[in-house]
Amino acid sequence: MKVSRVFLLVFTVFLFSCDTGSDESAGDNFDRGAMLANWADNIIIPAYANYEKELDALVSSVETFTADASESNLVSLRDKWQSAYLAWQWVSMFEIGRAEALSMQSYSNLYPTNPTEIEASITSGDYNLELPSRRDQQGFPAIDYLINGLGSTDADIVAFYTNIQTGSSYKTYLSDIVNRLHSMTTEVVEDWNNGYRDTFVNNDGSSATGAVNKVANDYIYYFEKHLRASKIGIPAGVFSSNSPDPTDVEAFYNSDFSKALYEEALAASEAFFNGQHYGSATKGESFATYLEYLNSIKEGEDLVKLINDQFVTIETTGANLLDDFSEQVETNNTLMLNTYDELQKNVIYFKLDMLQALNIKVDYVDADGD
């Protein structure tokens, strides 16, 4: 019995030592804390501050439009929606902390949206936007439908909001989904500014729950699933027997805006890899500097250079895409597929080579076989 207890004690200590606690050594002397501080102070928090500012403007424009549903106020609202949508591209990869708890990505930008269910909710007035089943009925894609998709002209769209019987219901739904975007963002910003920043920066170990490991996985998941697949691959038919679907593009009801959203997301991804401060050319500690510190080489070539050269190739390949991705997949889907293929090359560099160099395991299930 004593031997068993001793064995149990030793085994328990062994398990504890193998636990995924945040104080586990990284196995190298790279200053992970400095990298986390750069991410938090110079990239994530400033990008969220800008996003919240753009949402403030969007909320204000919705208030103006619902008080006076004119065509000029609709145009102004549309401009604010586009600005906020672009700002979202710089924070959407950071599904960590309060954003992870809120599942902010899926409640903010799940597309295609569901106009049938949106109309049913507007008619009944009975909806709970916090339910997972409502995720495709809110966020930027649902706003897109309500300000761009209700009619073929601005006059037609405004008519929905000025209708004596139903206009107030459309105004209420539009206000509710915009206010929900804003309230989720306020929660996330307040969390970063009231303690989570220090929790994040101090969680600098190499365990699966360490901040570097979580951000690495979130970053790659975002690049692979949201940027490569959702913005390019799915509308191009990569996952549906090469059958392109123009209705699957981001901002479908304002589809000549889809390329701008893709390019903004790509720029945000490249900047984060290189530790570039939000809204500045200044750079700090990053995945790139970490890989350089580790002298990461792939088949005789510098891995950081390979990744950054591939970003340039992606940009060059996508430069000739039409502004309207719906039109693109219908007129020249080959260029969409070529862009997808170039994005996939960086997925491999990130997912296989970078994670192997950083000794980080993939923490998500890959359902599409990449």
Query: For residue 367, what pLDDT is reported?
Result: 59
CA–CA gap between residue 272 and residue 274 (Å, rounded): 5
Distance CA 4, CA 1 (A): 5
Backbone angles phi, psi at 301, to 5 degrees: -120, 150
| Phi and psi at residue 274, to the nearest 5° | -95, 5
Strands annotated E in the chain: 297-298, 301-302
**pTM of the predicted structure, to 2 decimals:** 0.91
Predicted confidence at residue 16, as pLDDT, reads 35
pLDDT at 28: 84
- What backbone phi and psi angles, to 5 degrees, belong to 288? -65, -45
CA dihedral 350, 351, 352, 353 (to 10 degrees): 20
Half-sphere exposure (Cβ direction) of 188: Cα atoms closer than 13 Å? 30
Chain CA centroid to CA 285, Å: 21
The whole-number mean pLDDT for each consecutive block of 10 residues of the chain, a chain of 370 residues, reads 39 38 61 97 98 98 98 98 98 96 97 98 97 97 98 97 97 98 98 97 90 96 97 96 93 96 98 97 97 94 97 97 97 97 97 95 70
The whole-number pLDDT of residue 82 equals: 98
CB distance 261 to 249 below 8 Å: no
The structure tokens listed for 267 are 């720029």
* CA terminus-to-terminus distance, the chain: 50
CA dist 153 and 135 (Å) reads 27
CA dihedral 18, 21, 27, 31 (to 10 degrees): 180
3-state secondary structure at position 262: helix
Residue 16 is classified by DSSP as: H
